């Protein structure tokens, strides 16, 4: 009897169950990356559309170097040397910052928080009067969409 059991090959177990969690994690990571990339692309496109709508109303916004990042859980927009020219409260003005950094969480894209890097150079173009505002910390919070702003706040130190 003992000779019969010794002659049988050992039972082989499938390793399929070992690879399922790894494969599932890989699929989840690829899916999340595609979702983030799509969201970041839409965000960049929406910013461009907003700048065009503003230009149609005579308000020109420019950014010398705009980047979109923040992978994997948020969308960050960084703009170096943002500037503005056009009417503000019916008066033609121009303004320029050193930089601005905005962040929106993927799970709540209608809430945008950010920080502006000063100083803020502001010129009334009618009479050429010049104002320079500086700060240690300027924080911005906006809730809503570009066409339907629900809340905006500004905090400066």
For residue 3, pLDDT over 90 is answered with: no
Q: What confidence category does residue 6 fall into, taking pLDDT thresholds of 50, 70 and 90?
A: low
pLDDT of residue 103: 93
pLDDT tens-digit map of 16-38: 888 999 999 999 999 999 999 99
Of the listed ranges 6-10, 94-98, 113-117, 127-131, the one predicted with least confidence:
6-10
Which tokens hold the place of 1? 């009897």
For residue 147, pLDDT over 80 is answered with: no
CA angle 117, 119, 124 (to 5 degrees): 125
- Exposed e or buried b per residue across 135-150, where buried means at least 16 C-beta atoms within 10 angstroms of its C-beta: eeebebebeeeeeeee
What is the rounded distance in angstroms from the CA atom of residue 98 to the CA atom of residue 39? 27
**What beta strand segments (E) does the chain contain?**
60-62, 65-69, 74-80, 83-88, 91-96, 99-105, 108-117, 120-124, 130-133, 138-144, 149-156
Q: How far apart, in Å, are the Cα atoms of 24 and each of 18, 29, 34?
A: 11, 9, 15
């Amino acid at each position: 009897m003992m000779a019969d059991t010794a002659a049988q090959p050992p039972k082989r177990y499938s390793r399929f169950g070992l690879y399922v969690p790894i494969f599932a994690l890989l699929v989840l990571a690829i899916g999340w990356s595609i979702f983030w990339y799509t969201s970041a692309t839409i965000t960049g496109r929406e910013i461009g559309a907003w700048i065009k709508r503003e230009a149609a109303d005579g308000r020109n916004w420019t950014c010398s170097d705009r980047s979109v990042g923040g992978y994997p859980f948020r969308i960050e927009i960084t703009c170096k040397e943002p500037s503005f020219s056009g009417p503000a409260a019916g008066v033609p003005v121009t303004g320029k910052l050193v930089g601005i950094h905005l962040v929106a969480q993927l799970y709540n894209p209608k809430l945008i928080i950010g920080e502006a890097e000063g100083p803020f150079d502001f010129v009334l173009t009618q009479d050429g009067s010049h104002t320079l505002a500086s700060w240690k910390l300027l924080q911005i919070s906006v809730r809503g969409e570009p066409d339907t702003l629900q809340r905006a706040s500004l905090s400066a130190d």
